[in-house]
Every structure is written in C-alpha cells, then in structure tokens.
Structure 1
C-alpha cells in the first residue's frame, strides 16, 4: 500500500505542477527571456548534465545572452555575454545581492552563517569589513607580505629537494599546502601543517570535495518537496564533510585561545574578529559565524588561486614558447641571482598577461555563485519574475568569439596591446570577471590576483618545467565545481634556475 500511496501522491504532484506551469504562463503576460522547454516537474534539470557551464554555454548559442529556464519549481536566468552580465551585476546589482537557499549554505556553511552565502545585510557587511581590514585589503596584504615570502620559501625548498631526487612535483598538493599555511599564519598566527604529508593531503581532498559538492546542481534545491529523499546523495556527503571541517575548525579555535598570551601586541585576524564581533547596528558575530568565516577563508583562499596557477602552468607546458618568453622577461628584469619579489610584478607585463589569459580561459569559478531577484524587474525588454535565480556563465563569457579572437587559443599577447590592453579582472570590465562583480564580488579578489601573480611568477622564474617522460600528452579535461579543477592533477619535473640560497625560507 505504501508504494501505491507514494505513486498516487507523485501523480498528483505532477498534475499540480502542470497546472502551476499553465497558470504561470497565463499570469506572466510580459515577455520572459527565451529558453528551452523543460520536462514536467524537473524542468530543464536534465539539460544541465555533469558540466553545466558548457551545457549552458551551448544552449545560449541557440537562445541568446539572456536565457530563461524553469528548473524544478524555480525560475532561473542565465547570462552569457559581457553586456548582459553588466545589466544584472551593475545596473540591477542591489536587486540581485542575495543568495537563494541551497543545500551547500545549509549543510556546509553552518546554515548560511558565513560571508559567502549570508543574507546581504549588517552581519554580512561586518564579516566582509573585518576580513578586508585585517587580511584581504591593501594595507593588510602589505602587513603580511613577510608571511608570503616565508611560506613560498618553504615550498621552493621542498621543490628543490624533489628536483635533486628526480621526483615529479604534484602542483595542486604543493600549492594547497603552502597557501593553507599562509592563511593559517595570518588568521591564527601559526602554520596549519608543519610538515607536508597525510594531514595536508586530507585537507586538500576536503577542500576539493567542498568546492565540488557545493557547485553541483542538487535536485532538492530546485524541487524542495522531495529534498528529503536526497536522490543524488549530495546532502548526505555535505553533512559528513561538514563534520570533518567542524572538528578541524573547533580544534583550531581552541588552540588559538590557549596560545593568546604568546600574541600580546601581535594580534592576528582571529584576534581582531573576536575583539570586534559587535558593530554599531547591534549585530554580533557568534562562534558559528566565526567558524563559518574561517571555513570561507581556508577553502576559497586555497582552492581558487591554486587552481588558476595549476591551469597556467599546464598551458605553458603545452606552449613552451610562452614559458620561455616569460622566463626571458624575468631574467631581463630580475636577473638570475635572486628570487622574484612582489615589487617586481609591475615591471613584468607578460607575466600579468599570462595571468589574465588564464583567468579568461580557465576561470576558477565557471558559474558565479547564484543570486536571487528580490523584486521583479526588466532586462533587455524581458520580464524577470521575483525570486528568479541568476547565474552568470563566466566561463562562456571568456570563450565568446564575439568578444575574444580565437577564444580557444591560449594567447597572452591579446592583453598586451589593442582594445584588451587595459582590461582588468577586478570586476569593472565585464569581458573578464573571474571573481564576479558588484556587491557580491569575491571578497578575496585583490588577494587572489596578488597570490596568482606572485606565486606563478616565482615558480616560472625559479625552475624550468617539464613533463615526466611517461606523459606524452597533457590532459586538460575539466572537473566541474565551484572551482574548476583539472580532472588529472598536474605533475611535473622541475630543474632549478637560481643559486641554491634562493630556495630557502
């Protein structure tokens, strides 16, 4: 009987959905953006596939730069060109400043108590203000430049030892280890991983799992009435992962509290957050808010930048002439007697062009984190209902042949002259928005650009790079998530190019 009851309920649900869709078409007499006709109940979900950014880019070629989809019970609009992105993220920014509810916010981000998923309001502003003032802002970045120098030295030392042994370097693991320690020193006044090993590898796996699962299109987010079934097993995985992170974050907080006497006169980010957890508007950050903020900083701060650097090195290994040209520029500016320092970057236009080209072709976030319309609005003559989810296909914008000549080619020269020479990835030029734009632009934009330029430049200047003899063709396949990972992590052989004293902390 239970099965019969379930089937009857499911049939009623389908008929109700069809009725709602019919009423929806009659109610919205205004013109909706064009888009594919979906299936009953599930709408356009089957069209998204395992690589939604590529599926949506393909559909946009047929339906246009502003595309409407019915996904489950939700309205969704996808934009795929710079002009369309500008209309939503600049002109209508305030109307699209909130995030829709989803499983990632609930199960990973402590019920949206973090900075990434939180409602746009006083608490979100307080979290963002504190992280910018004491970690990601211009002065803060200057204040902890010595941390970056030291951790990069540890990484170079490890790579130098690998080169002597003839061992390949696994780029993603190496970068995650170094960046987690950089962030750990700024937030907690300590290296999170003293030695590279199983703990740091497990942390890397946890971060990748978080960024992957949070980016998946979860059926329960779009058909809330069946969310309890967890048909894809996504929510169960999120809950298990959250427990792992919570154990780690709780331990870090407790150890930080116990070591407070050692930091007198030298406060770190967590000290500042704890000291300023109240604001003038009566908002107070709870321990949950603080753990959620730490989760944001450690996960996004390590994975997005490391993935960009890995993609850049992969492209240069496929195009050795680009690698050689970058090294030649550095020899001319820096010489071969010392490491690159951050003040060198402004005199390395080709390095900066390589970074921009990687942001364009391999954006760390292929689809921006979704936003939701607070009120109904109109864009390009199309009606956008209240509650519509907005997704900006950053990956598609970077590969738009109407914007970029030969977009599938990795060509840093496109940023050295002509119309693209002044394009900047900080959110004002909508042809290149790897960090998003508007009020909800990634809070770590400035830090992310600096880390990519500094670390990538150091790796290129310090070593020659080659693939192992067993690799005849470099795999460039993508793995979809909040951050765009390589399916096969890059492993390469390195040969030192500088004096031995350059490879030390």
Structure 2
C-alpha cells in the first residue's frame, strides 16, 4: 500500500466517517432499542461508527478473515458491522435455506456497490440490480426470452461448434510440446461459448486457424475475470459511499479498466446490430430472423410495438450475461482435472464411463449428458469442494427479520458461504477429500449439478438465484467430458503430482494447471 493511501486510511477515513454518520449512528441505536427481543448474530466487537472497517482493511482478503473468525468462534452465523452495514455471513445449510428459501421474499435485493453500478450500467440489468421495477422488467425479459428451454435448444448448434473448437484447440497443442495450460483452455472455452451465444462470433476480429484466442479475446476474458473478482469484493467505498472517487483500495481503477475493455469490444458490435435491426431497410418485415441473444434483446417489443429495451439496457444486459457464464464452469473443470490427475483411479472411472456410454467412434454430445453420471458427479464434487468464490452474491434484507433466533436488521447484507456449506463437517463425510462417488445414489437416479437443499452451491437458488443452471450444467459437463474423452492426460516431466493449494487471493488453484496431453481417439474425430 502506498504511503498516501496509508495516511488516508489512518487520518481521513475515521474523521470523515464520524462527521458523516454520527447522527445516523445515534438514530440506529434508538431504533435497535425498540422491540428487539432477539439479539444480533455474534460477531467481533465493532469500533464506534466505523465498525469492523479497520480489521477488514488489515486482514485481506476479507472473506478469509471473516470465515477464519467464524471458525475460531465456532459459529455458523455471524454479524460484522462495517460502517452502518450489518454483514451477515452464513455457513450452515439449514440457516441458508431459511434466508434463500423460506424467507426468500425478504432477502431478494442486492447491495449498492461501486463495481455493480459500473458493470450493470447504473443497475439496468438482472443479477446486480437492487429489487425494484427495473429488476422486475429485466428478470421477465431473461426468463421468458433469453434463458428458457426453447432458447437453449435454439442455441444448441453454436454450443456444439465451440465444443468442437475446444477439441481442435487442444489437439493442435498436442503436436509440440504437448503441454496444455488448462486454466487458459477452460476459461477461453467458456468465453467462446458465451460470445457465440450473445454475439454469434468467437472472435472480435479475424481470429486464428488453430482455434485459440487472439489478443482481443485474451483481453476480454481477463477483463471478465477481473470484473468478477472485484464485484462485491469488500471495497471500502461500498460501506462509506462518500469515499467514492478517492479509490483508497485501488478497486475503482480495476473496475474502470474492465469497463473500458467491455465498451471497446462490445459497443461496436451492439451499435451496428441495433442500426441494422432498427433501420427501416433492415427490419423484421424483410424476413430477417434473430441469430443470437443480442438480436433477441434488440427485437423485443413492448405492448405498443416499440423497442422494449434501450441501447443502454441492451449493452448492460449483454455485459452481465457475458460475465455470468465464464467463471463457474471453468473453475470447476480446472479443479476437477487437477484432482483426478492426482488420483488416476478416478480419471480411469471417468474414461470408462465415457467409453461405455459414447465409445471411441464419435464425440460426446449434449444428448449424452443424462447418462454421464460419474462425469457429473466429478463436476458436483468440484463445485462442492472448490467453489469459485468464498461467498454467494450478496442478498439484502428488505425489512427486519428473525432467522435462526437472531435479529436481522433491514439493510443487512446476507453472505451465504460457498466454502462453509460445501466443507461443513456436519453435512459432509471427509469434507476436504475429493469423492465424486458421494453424489451417486444408484444407477436409476440421474445426477444433476444443481443442489436445492443448499448443502453446497453450484448455481444459486431463490428469486435472485441463477436462472441459467441448464446452460451452466451443459457447459461444465461438455467441457469436462470432451477433455477426458479426447485426450490422455498426465503430469509434465519431473512433476509427480499437482499442488492443490488455493490461491491466497481467491479460491482458484494457486498455479494454473498445466498438463501433458496426447490424443486418445482416431485422428478423423479431431476437427481441423
């Protein structure tokens, strides 16, 4: 941290907070004294007015500090006051169900956040917008027109083409030297799929014959992952909004850079497409049909026959869809591959299932997914043990509530811990061990990646839950199945096992997974 930032934290923050919040602080105290027969969840003693902000800033990443404190105090629900905000983390599935299922209507809003505001175009989208009319409008658009079974089927061929391109890209890397960076492969597969679905193109420019990304796609995927890493990342100005602009923790610069990358790459495509559709010379009356999700967003009409969405709404929603699709499948598959490489018996079981269900004379297809229970069990176990983020996207209490015998004040931020649920020893036997078989209940029961009982989180549930679980499942299973079917994988020379340590800053592998790959199918099956 720079000396300037250190001085700002030491001198400016407490003074500004006290000046800005003292009246609100005493008002809150008076409210808390009225009819509060239930206590707040346990938590560290907050400083006057600024709460636990100093500890949050000293103990980065804040998510690990929060979970470590809860573990030391042996509590599955807690309360961390940061400024005037009660942050309520939860690690118990029963309590999580109370928040996200039984009392879901009370906790269906989102926090005000510098990054969320920037990436959602000022809360014009679905996932990041607080509860209100705009959220209702965009939610209806997505559930009825974008993420529905008919649309999923309509987009099948685009997903199939990217599954083929995945095989082509890895096959070309097998020639020399044969080492494949699977983090790079998995992330760009997900980026390719969602760009194809939204923009009907893999490349922003000319592209490459070997199926790999160019610099534009590299920058695009990097921006998507940076944006996701900084979204709801305990930014100091999210709890003290009057500090927006000072960028005391460096988050604003990252968010600005990501936003500029999105605008540079997305806006020319969207502007041109809007012009084509809304110009009289190129309208539906000429028989043109939508080709991708961007076309669908542009051609939606209201009850008067006018465009339902503004260009600004279209751009914001397109960015949110691109962000939402890349991280969960790619992280799960990278971790699953790392785990099974260290335990060859698991990798052999996955190969045997694919060979039994599909064989070696054709490639895995989406129609095979219902029968690939062991592959899906590996995916479920990766979601359970190695979630993409410590917490789910925050929920905000719309009114006072009581959960698990604790008072949850209006405006509280509810953080359901993906790590806490998936690694809870009261729920899971040997919670830190990768055991795909724990998810297989018998040959007659199909394994699915969703988890309605919130024993772990693959795709979030409830009114603010993930509405694209079908797409997420398809991307995850096809990515993992194609990698395992298409290639024999091993550790690089002189490396005998993969280091399964987590990154300090997030929950990804500390080092990108690099493996040796050799084709295991007849050459004619590899796309060229």
1:220 aligns with 237
* Displacement after TM superposition at 1:449 (Å): 1.2
Residues in 1 aligned to 2:384 and 2:137: alpha-carbon distance in whole angstroms = 31
- Cα displacement string for residues 115-164 of structure 1 (whole angstroms, at most 9, x for unaligned residues): 21123344324433433445432222222222122111122112111111
Native 8 Å contact 1:213 1:238 kept in 2? yes
2:40 aligns with 32
* Displacement after TM superposition at 1:81 (Å): 0.7
Q: 1:267 to 1:330 in 2, by over 3 A?
A: closer
Aligned length: 499
Residues in 2 aligned to 1:7 and 1:373: alpha-carbon distance in whole angstroms = 27
2:524 aligns with 501
Native 8 Å contact 2:336 2:382 kept in 1? yes
In the alignment, does 2:370 pair up with 1:346?
yes
Q: 1:174 to 1:404 in 2, by over 3 A?
A: same
Q: TM-score, normalised by structure 1?
A: 0.90
1:382 aligns with 406
Native 8 Å contact 2:220 2:262 kept in 1? no
Q: 1:478 to 1:393 in 2, by over 3 A?
A: same
* Displacement after TM superposition at 1:237 (Å): 2.3
In the alignment, does 2:118 pair up with 1:107?
yes
1:306 aligns with 330
Native 8 Å contact 1:338 1:499 kept in 2? no
1:253 aligns with 270
* Displacement after TM superposition at 1:498 (Å): 0.7
Residues in 2 aligned to 1:11 and 1:366: alpha-carbon distance in whole angstroms = 28
What value does the CA root-mean-square deviation take over the aligned residues?
3.0
1:192 aligns with 203
1:367 aligns with 391
After superposing the two structures, state which structure 1 stretch, 190-199 or 421-430, moved more: 421-430
Native 8 Å contact 1:183 1:301 kept in 2? yes
Q: SS of 1:478's equivalent?
A: coil
Structure 1 residues 48-447: aligned runs within 5 Å: 48=56, 49-61=59-71, 62=73, 64-193=75-204, 194-195=207-208, 196-257=213-274, 264-276=288-300, 278=302, 284-417=308-441, 424-447=448-471
* Displacement after TM superposition at 1:258 (Å): 6.2
* Displacement after TM superposition at 1:217 (Å): 0.7
After superposing the two structures, state which structure 1 stretch, 282-291 or 8-17, moved more: 8-17
Q: TM-score, normalised by structure 2?
A: 0.86
In structure 1, the gaps of 5 or more residues are none
Q: 1:270 to 1:277 in 2, by over 3 A?
A: farther
After superposing the two structures, state which structure 1 stretch, 158-167 or 463-472, moved more: 463-472
Residues in 2 aligned to 1:117 and 1:283: alpha-carbon distance in whole angstroms = 23
After superposing the two structures, state which structure 1 stretch, 345-354 or 49-58, moved more: 49-58
Q: SS of 1:434's equivalent?
A: coil
Native 8 Å contact 1:212 1:480 kept in 2? no
Q: SS of 2:393's equivalent?
A: coil
In structure 2, the gaps of 5 or more residues are 1-7
Once superposed, which parts of structure 1, at least 4 consecutive aligned residues long, lie more than 6 Å away? 5-8
Q: 1:504 to 1:95 in 2, by over 3 A?
A: same
Residues in 2 aligned to 1:149 and 1:317: alpha-carbon distance in whole angstroms = 26
* Displacement after TM superposition at 1:189 (Å): 2.6
2:5 aligns with none
Residues in 1 aligned to 2:47 and 2:107: alpha-carbon distance in whole angstroms = 27
